[in-house]
Structure 1
Amino acid sequence: MSDKSSTAERPGIVPEDPAAVQRALIEWYEADHRSFPWRETEDPYEILVSEVMSQQTQLDRVVDAWEDFLDRWPTAADLAAADRADVVGFWTSHSLGYNNRAKYLHEAARQVRDDFDGAWPRDPDGLSDLMGVGPYTANAVASFAFNNGDAVVDTNVKRVLYRAFDVPDDDDAFETVASALMPDGESRVWNNAIMELGGVACGKTPDCDGAACPWREWCSAYETGDFTAPDVPTQPTFEGSRRQFRGRIVRLLGDHDGMDLDTLGHRIRVDYTPDGEHGREWLRDLLSDLADDGLVKIEEDDGQITARLR
């Protein structure tokens, strides 16, 4: 285990020699942690599916969907060969959030097949070339599949570092400290462990003693009793949102070969009025978004507008 920056360069109060901090966390994680099936695999495809599904979705809810998805499309090649409408339909039926994630996951599988000859990129930069794979997801897949990632910095990790080591609420500061703490060549176990710490012991309501937090002897919050944490962005309300109606459209079109504009409008909301606030113009805007995402096709013939899944 190593120290990658001098104490003077690190924000907060990270110990000068972090070896004991590193060892304590890894031993705590390896002794006991939550069991999720994607933690038992090093397959980049299976890990990517879990990461995409886990975005703004509770992990316990993801397990069944992840297993069902892999039963249906066991490999990236299977997913690449699938019909996109089937993938989107699965996403919607399992309430996994934004349907464009299904589209991006499907496209990423095709990229691996067509652009990489079935061989996955092994580092964050290469993985970021895949459709819909941002820096965080690319780093997670590199870490958990190939043990070749950087330190993960998510909401849980920020909360842990802020409380334990008085790291200021600043993205650069969090990145610096997270990188300094992660032992070289151990991104797989380290990133799993520190996210587990934030999810189990150092949640919004901490459970330091009950979860036997391994960092209590170094933790500023544990010593002072001040468990404030950085502000966490709240997810927009789902009820009545564009996301909700986009999902309704995709579900309906998945059950029908095609639907005309007004029939679709009346089916997705009870107050649909063709010329009203939530009428044809509003619905066309939603359909245009879905068309831009490659999920829906809009056809017009003699003034009749029909929407169908691609």
Structure 2
Amino acid sequence: MLGDFLERFDSAGCSALRRGLLKWYKQHGRSLPWRETRDPYRIWISEIMLQQTTVKAVIPYYERFLRRFPDLQSLAAASEAEVLQYWEGLGYYSRGRNLRLAAQAVCERHSGVFPSELDAIQGLPGIGRYTAGAIRSFAFDLPAPIVEANTLRLYCRLLGYDGDPRSTAGQNLLWEFAERLQPRVNAGHVNQALMELGATVCTPVQPACERCPISRYCVAFAENRQAEIPAKKARPRVTQTVEATVAVRRGDQYLIRQRTKSERWAGMWDFVRFPVESVTPEQSLTKALQAKLQKEATEQVHKISAVEVTALMPVTEIRHSVTRYRIRLICLTGELSVEGRVLSVGEETAALRWVTLEELRGVPMPVTGRQFAGMLRASPDR
């Protein structure tokens, strides 16, 4: 069955397809910072950043990150907190943590020299099959198949594959096809061309087939089935939820807590944050509901931090999404109760700190925590 899809792409067919791709890429490939280098370190950083993030959004983060961590050694020597601070805004923070761990692994296992073998690259933390292939081909110009979102779509249309491309059978087919497309030389340019074509021409909706240099080889184009191929991915069910975050103030300082390994945004600092049971995602915050929320928040803050808080007041709400969750985040301020336990410097642990709003600028925080801090900084009442 899989052989039927690949039958049209023999050695001669793949060679002709590559020639068309390379000619097109030379004329139309975008100039991007990570395409101007063969440094595997810089290519690796870009590939990790580009996961779940658009090219346009990545460029300023990429340039800022490299100014602070220009090489493997500087990244390996940095603290997790500093790396996370420079990752702020990109989301999926395990990527930032794994970058640091992988840099340390390269220094320990490979004497600080980024490896070129697929197995060695893929053995580093946070690097999967696609990323390993991208680094190997882009940095070392060595053959390595790649399948990611853009090439997955392109391959399915070229082959006319209308099955589930994310199934075992679909993945086997696409990776075998990607392997067939690999040349002995110019592997990096071929892979860049495939990705560029998928990103800018063979788009998910209304692909520009009239501009495609390899449309003559495309089964979906010949059959006018571009809108049907590839098969759509089932959308995960969205879960609506409510959370609260409390900025507890003591003079000009605020209480922050380091999030644990079992929580989202592990290792980052945030105001005390917790799920809310007293308010649903749709309910307006009436006086009655506000009273229930204040009671729940008082109990939760004490449970989480051993701090007693008073004068709790909702000040704003932030709507945001994390994977399949749509979160209504209610932001409250409160004052440390004089009867409550005051954390002195000697009592502070790795999980709790008192900091000023200015000191928060140097602490890694989730985007919503940073937004709330910005609102507090701009408030005339602080």
Aligned to 1:258: none
Instruction: Supply the AA of the counterpart residue of 1:61.
Output: A
CA distance, structure 2, for counterparts of residue 84 and residue 33 of structure 1: 36
Aligned to 1:273: 297
**Correspondence 1:167 to 2:191:** no
Aligned to 2:224: 225
CA contact (8 A) 1:10 1:177 kept: no
CA contact (8 A) 1:79 1:109 kept: yes
CA gap 1:233/1:33 in 2 versus in 1, 3 angstroms: farther
Aligned to 2:181: 181
CA distance, structure 2, for counterparts of residue 168 and residue 29 of structure 1: 27
Aligned to 1:47: 43
CA contact (8 A) 2:34 2:46 kept: yes
TM-superposed CA distance for 1:233, in Å, is: 6.2
CA distance, structure 2, for counterparts of residue 275 and residue 34 of structure 1: 54
The counterpart of 1:143, out of the listed 118, 124, 137, is 137
Instruction: Supply the AA of the counterpart residue of 2:30.
Output: R
| Larger radius of gyration between Structure 1 and Structure 2 | 2
CA contact (8 A) 2:43 2:139 kept: yes
Instruction: Supply the AA of the counterpart residue of 1:273.
Output: A
Q: TM-score, normalised by structure 2?
A: 0.61
Stretch of structure 1 that moved more, 58-67 or 147-156: 147-156
Aligned to 1:33: 29
CA distance, structure 2, for counterparts of residue 149 and residue 231 of structure 1: 30
Q: TM-score, normalised by structure 1?
A: 0.74
Instruction: Supply the AA of the counterpart residue of 2:19.
Output: R
Aligned to 2:329: none
Structure showing the higher helix proportion among its residues: 1
Aligned to 1:202: 202
Structure showing the higher strand proportion among its residues: 2
CA distance, structure 1, for counterparts of residue 140 and residue 134 of structure 2: 10
CA distance, structure 2, for counterparts of residue 174 and residue 85 of structure 1: 39
Query: Structure 1: which 5+ residue stretches go unaligned?
Result: 1-7, 253-262, 282-302
CA distance, structure 2, for counterparts of residue 155 and residue 194 of structure 1: 11
The counterpart of 1:68, out of the listed 64, 69, 83, is 64
SS of alignment partner, residue 91 of structure 2? coil
SS of alignment partner, residue 125 of structure 1? helix
Aligned to 1:257: none
CA distance, structure 2, for counterparts of residue 236 and residue 186 of structure 1: 43
CA gap 1:230/1:154 in 2 versus in 1, 3 angstroms: farther
Let me know the Cα RMSD of the aligned residues: 3.5
- Deviations 1:54-74, CA, capped at 9 Å, x for gaps: 110111100000000001111
Aligned positions of 1:87-102 closer than 5 A: 87-92=83-88, 95-102=89-96
Aligned to 2:193: 193
SS of alignment partner, residue 217 of structure 1? helix
CA contact (8 A) 1:140 1:152 kept: yes
SS of alignment partner, residue 27 of structure 1? helix
TM-superposed CA distance for 1:45, in Å, is: 0.8
Instruction: Supply the AA of the counterpart residue of 2:92.
Output: Y
CA gap 1:106/1:159 in 2 versus in 1, 3 angstroms: same
Larger RCO: 1 or 2 (CA < 8 Å, sep 6+): 1
Aligned to 1:292: none
- Deviations 1:12-51, CA, capped at 9 Å, x for gaps: 4534421211100111111111221001111111011111
Instruction: Supply the AA of the counterpart residue of 1:307.
Output: A
CA gap 1:305/1:73 in 2 versus in 1, 3 angstroms: closer
Instruction: Supply the AA of the counterpart residue of 2:201.
Output: A
Aligned to 1:264: 272
CA distance, structure 1, for counterparts of residue 68 and residue 239 of structure 2: 28
The counterpart of 2:128, out of the listed 121, 127, 134, is 134
CA gap 1:233/1:36 in 2 versus in 1, 3 angstroms: farther
CA gap 1:235/1:52 in 2 versus in 1, 3 angstroms: farther
CA contact (8 A) 1:249 1:264 kept: no
SS of alignment partner, residue 273 of structure 2? helix
Instruction: Supply the AA of the counterpart residue of 2:65.
Output: F
Instruction: Supply the AA of the counterpart residue of 1:250.
Output: M
Query: Structure 2: which 5+ residue stretches go unaligned?
Result: 164-169, 244-258, 280-292, 306-346, 353-362, 365-382
Instruction: Supply the AA of the counterpart residue of 1:104.
Output: N
